[in-house]
Structure 1
Amino acid sequence: MTNTKDTTGLEAIYLAALDSNVRFITAVAGYPMTAVADYFFEKKEFTNYDIHWFTNEKAALEAALGASVTGRRSMVMVKHVGMNVLSDPLMTAMMHTIGSGLVILAGDDPAAKASQNEQDSRFYGAISETATFDPATPQDAYDSLNRAFELSEETKVPVIMRITDRLENEEQEVSRSQINSKVKQEGKVLDRNIWKLTMHGKHQRFHIESETLLIHEAENSRFNHCLIKEGNVGIISSGYSSFIVDKILSTQLVYSSYSHLSLGMVTPLPEKLVKRFIEQHERILVVEESEPFIESYINTCCSKILGKRTGHLPFGIIEKEHVEFAFENIDNDELSKYIDIQTILNRGSRPICSDCPFMPLYNVLHNIQPVAGDMGCSIRTAPDPLNAVDTGFALGGAISTACGFPGKGIAVIGDFGLAHSGIIGLINAVDSGFDILAIILQNDVAAMTGGQSAPDLKEVVKALVPDTTCINIDELQKLEGKEACSENIQDMIQKKLDNKGVSVIYIEGKCTKH
């Protein structure tokens, strides 16, 4: 056993991956997961694992499944919205079974600091019926990841571990309990006897074999810590929120009588453990982020549950002052403190870079409606003063969205978004005979997520869409100036709108930040 001082949660995850003998890693860039993946890439030369950037989460999980069934422990790193994309193979993998351990590291973004939405990856543990670990500290992260790989192999299913940026940055002395007992045995491969079962039989097998083990793990997990005091108030928490609660309970004597059940494994929910805890207290406060996940499971069976839905805590991120406010109002059944809705005005603007090479285009789109935007830098042009794009549903979704517009729809999409899934929308638009204009912005990087390279699909697009025009906006601005450049682009757009069918304008420009 070796102790490492001042270890961040990010470093603890890296050490756990080493000590768990992970051999294959896939990652899709996005906050807060980019920092974790970058760290693994930096350390790659000192290790013997393969790590690869992917542009699509579904493909990233499928590659990891390939490694797993052939005997290599694998890990997938995605942000919370990436869980939506990889859910397809995840659901099937639960019944299909795997080989060596496979863990999906899901990075959640409470308060949506750098994301198109704010969602809670714990729900994917419930939907897929797999185990979800929700560590509170760097030590928890290290231990949880080690156990996640073991549990994945025992149950023959992928396992999820959720992290947040605050866990990544938190520091603690970490004990590397498995450093001298690395997994050295031959990797487990797929047991092909699974193909003797029907699809329904695979579903039955999961519930009879795998789910039974998962439920037993949850009810007896060492990551679920329960501290019972003599008072009548009980706190149930998970993830980084548990760290905040523990800090308050250990430093503020006025709350020393509060009991605390910290859940480090949240799916399957340890129903018997939670029920016993509830029965021992008169009032229960659930402290969690981002959504009322645990709260929604237990509030139907007990009227004394307090949390986000009763107004004691805000939706999204949980801070120390939020928990203290809830403690101070523990005797109130309902509160109405958190009723303000954040605006760009009161938060502060995060506009697109003023020297963005595509600014002449955005100045033109200001006068055109509707325009389907895509996740990436262009989404920052939606608010005042540019008002350049009108929608932004999902990475790679702009082209398909524009197919639903009347007349000839306009879509603006980056090269990374195109590679992620936008190319599918373009194929469908061509095949179904839609009238759309796709404006593809090529800067060769995923600028919003750290500058990872983006595939160049220009020749693919030209093969799909004969009506494709390519321009270099940097050169155009040098020759004509910004104002004339905008006029040129406006004329080009109008000509494309006059044509029936699918049209493309490919605009190349160099990102000034990468």
Structure 2
Amino acid sequence: MNITDREIGVSEITGLEALYFALIDSKVEMVTGVAGFPVTAVMNYFEKNATPEITTLWMTNEKVALEAALGASASGKRSLVLTKHVGMNVLSDPLVTSVNHTIGAGVVIVAGDDPGVLASQNEQDSRWYGEVSEVAVYDPSNPDASYNSLVRAFELSESTKVPIIVRITDRLEKATGTVTRSAPVEKTEITFDRSIWKLTMRGKHQHFHLHAQPLLLDEAENSPLTRYAKAAETSRIGIISSGYPSTLVDEVLGEDHPEISHLSLNVVSPLPLRKLRQFISDHEKVIVIEESEPFIESHISICENVLGKTTGHLPYGRIEKEHISFAIENCDKGKVSEYTDVETIEKRGARSLCEDCLFLPVYRMLHDLDILIAGDMGCSIRSAPEPLEAVDVGFALGAAISTGSGFEKKSVAVIGDFGLAHSGIVGLINAIQNNRDVLVMVLDNRTAAMTGGQSTPDLAEAVKALCNDVTIFDFNDPKLAESRIGELEELVRDKLSVKGVSVIYVRAECVLYR
């Protein structure tokens, strides 16, 4: 049965499928995305099932992904941007400006967060970008809320003329539930209104606060997607939650605690402060259950009866049902210290490089150089822990070249071809412009291996145009790899001894996606 023919409202579907149906029913015409957990699965699903009316584009950079969506919006096409949480950092520049600039047709950013850091370089919380950019953030808890949040986000985006954020997680994508679809909207005819250019930059911000912000505040306070399960009038304990943890709260309360009230927020930015104040005043103790950071809690923790992460009742990051039960059992304590363990690689058993990776001899060679090595957020970051201990630092995707340019003496910056295309090439341009001493090793397998095997652009000719010291080193034959490593090490040591920027392209197939 074709996915578009499935009967909705009767069948159980996943959160991922719910997002797809919302995409279809909202008449979205462009989807841009950057690969990364947990949004790779969403983009793959959209690509596989897209109708001819929908253009899906894998992008190498989140800033570019949003800018393309804004361009589609200006010409009257609803557009969606898929990014993992760290990608929000990259697209924040056009996001913040677009709010005052105003847009045309609706633009929604689906931000995939990674509570528990299953496959990311950090555990940041995308809800904060609602405050940074002053836009609305939806934090749905189940497939039906996911569907309705995305549909409503496009409507709100067009009424306020600003992008809207919908936050999801891996568990929300996989959760199942009944979804009731609304009638598909008519194709929008909304385009960018140039009259905003009559205002100064300050005037645009004033315009936002006068016309858009009141609509966003009203959405937060009166959203029908907010759920309030009120217990008995004598309910002493109340729980405030948002996102997937709301589903866990429902399960815990339904099983063991029908006497506890539950306010499940869907719009978390701007926060519905009037609603929250009333709920807090109605209960002796209020527990805030959320992932990953104490976002809601931080705004209401001035109230002494509010408990959560900052009081030790819940852990930072990923929330499980046992955490909720523990918080309820200890709600009469003002402070607890249950969650003091610090996770180690030994305890968790983090994944290392593939055993037959053709670049393994390269990483062993880097370890033996006895100099600082700048890594990147591709496969090279997995060479940092034991036993390889090849790279020393790694801050962001595409950051290796810039980082290496800051070292005291010439050293090696290891970057993948995807990291180079994402933003690393800008670091290369700056290193050349500023006459920095750095040896760039591009581990080129033409694959974004950490995010699902997407193809990557070949920038070798562009690099040659930028830098006059570029060597292409073929490392593709596993039979010759071990014998050629001495040749590569000699080349590396030679390049480290000369001033300026040097680039070595080390080319080998990805054994995982060959």
Normalised by the size of structure 2, how large is the TM-score? 0.97
Matched residue type, 2:496: L
SS, match of residue 94 in structure 2: helix
Shift, 1:490, TM fit? 1.1
Matched residue type, 1:338: Y
Shift, 1:2, TM fit? 4.5
- Which residue is equivalent to 1:348? 349
For the pair 1:8 / 2:14, whether they are aligned, the reply is: yes
Q: Residue deviations 1:298-340, cap 9 Å, x none?
A: 102x011110011110000000111111111111111111000
Shift, 1:187, TM fit? 2.1
| Separation in 2, partners of 1:89, 1:349 | 35
Matched residue type, 2:22: A
| Separation in 2, partners of 1:175, 1:247 | 21
- Which residue is equivalent to 1:305? 306
Contact kept in structure 1, 2:220 and 2:270, CA below 8 Å: yes
Contact kept in structure 1, 2:8 and 2:178, CA below 8 Å: no
Matched residue type, 1:468: V
Contact kept in structure 2, 1:2 and 1:177, CA below 8 Å: no
Percent identity for Structure 1 against Structure 2: 55
Q: 1:328 to 1:48 in 2, by over 3 A?
A: same
Matched residue type, 2:245: S
Q: Map of 1:48-197 to 2, 5 A cutoff?
A: 48-178=53-183, 182-197=184-199
Matched residue type, 1:290: S
For the pair 1:319 / 2:320, whether they are aligned, the reply is: yes
| Separation in 2, partners of 1:352, 1:132 | 36
| Separation in 2, partners of 1:88, 1:236 | 32
Q: Residue deviations 1:33-72, cap 9 Å, x none?
A: 000000011012x441011000000000000000011100
- Which residue is equivalent to 2:3? none
Q: 1:221 aligns with which of 199, 216, 223?
A: 223
| Separation in 2, partners of 1:132, 1:488 | 53
| Separation in 2, partners of 1:440, 1:2 | 48
Q: 1:37 aligns with which of 43, 46, 49?
A: 43
Contact kept in structure 2, 1:363 and 1:486, CA below 8 Å: no
For the pair 1:467 / 2:469, whether they are aligned, the reply is: yes
Contact kept in structure 2, 1:360 and 1:485, CA below 8 Å: no
For the pair 1:274 / 2:279, whether they are aligned, the reply is: no
- Which residue is equivalent to 1:231? 235
Q: 1:250 aligns with which of 250, 254, 260?
A: 254
Using the TM superposition, name which of 345-354 and 225-234 deviates more: 225-234
Gap regions ≥5 residues in structure 2: 1-6
| Separation in 1, partners of 2:8, 2:121 | 40
| Separation in 2, partners of 1:512, 1:37 | 23
| Separation in 1, partners of 2:145, 2:185 | 20
Q: Residue deviations 1:59-88, cap 9 Å, x none?
A: 000000000111000000000000000000
Contact kept in structure 1, 2:27 and 2:187, CA below 8 Å: no
SS, match of residue 361 in structure 2: helix
SS, match of residue 64 in structure 1: helix
Matched residue type, 1:31: F
Shift, 1:183, TM fit? 2.0
For the pair 1:365 / 2:366, whether they are aligned, the reply is: yes
Ranges of 4+ aligned residues in structure 1 off by more than 2 Å: 227-230
Equivalenced residue count is 504
In angstroms, what is the RMSD of aligned CA positions? 1.1
- Which residue is equivalent to 1:439? 441
For the pair 1:502 / 2:501, whether they are aligned, the reply is: yes
Normalised by the size of structure 1, how large is the TM-score? 0.97
SS, match of residue 463 in structure 1: helix
| Separation in 2, partners of 1:210, 1:73 | 19
Q: Map of 1:354-503 to 2, 5 A cutoff?
A: 354-368=355-369, 369-475=371-477, 477-479=478-480, 481-482=481-482, 484-503=483-502
Contact kept in structure 2, 1:75 and 1:105, CA below 8 Å: yes
Shift, 1:465, TM fit? 1.1
Matched residue type, 2:248: I
Shift, 1:265, TM fit? 0.6
Shift, 1:485, TM fit? 2.3
SS, match of residue 175 in structure 1: coil
Q: Residue deviations 1:174-202, cap 9 Å, x none?
A: 11122xxx222442101111001010000
- Which residue is equivalent to 1:263? 265
Contact kept in structure 2, 1:4 and 1:176, CA below 8 Å: no
SS, match of residue 342 in structure 2: coil
Contact kept in structure 2, 1:73 and 1:187, CA below 8 Å: no
- Which residue is equivalent to 1:25? 31
Q: Map of 1:204-219 to 2, 5 A cutoff?
A: 204-219=206-221
SS, match of residue 77 in structure 1: strand
SS, match of residue 179 in structure 2: strand
Gap regions ≥5 residues in structure 1: none
- Which residue is equivalent to 1:240? 244
SS, match of residue 195 in structure 1: helix
Using the TM superposition, name which of 220-229 and 47-56 deviates more: 220-229
Q: 1:47 to 1:15 in 2, by over 3 A?
A: farther
SS, match of residue 510 in structure 1: coil
SS, match of residue 180 in structure 2: strand
Contact kept in structure 2, 1:133 and 1:265, CA below 8 Å: yes
Matched residue type, 1:277: F
| Separation in 1, partners of 2:10, 2:76 | 30
Contact kept in structure 1, 2:31 and 2:56, CA below 8 Å: yes
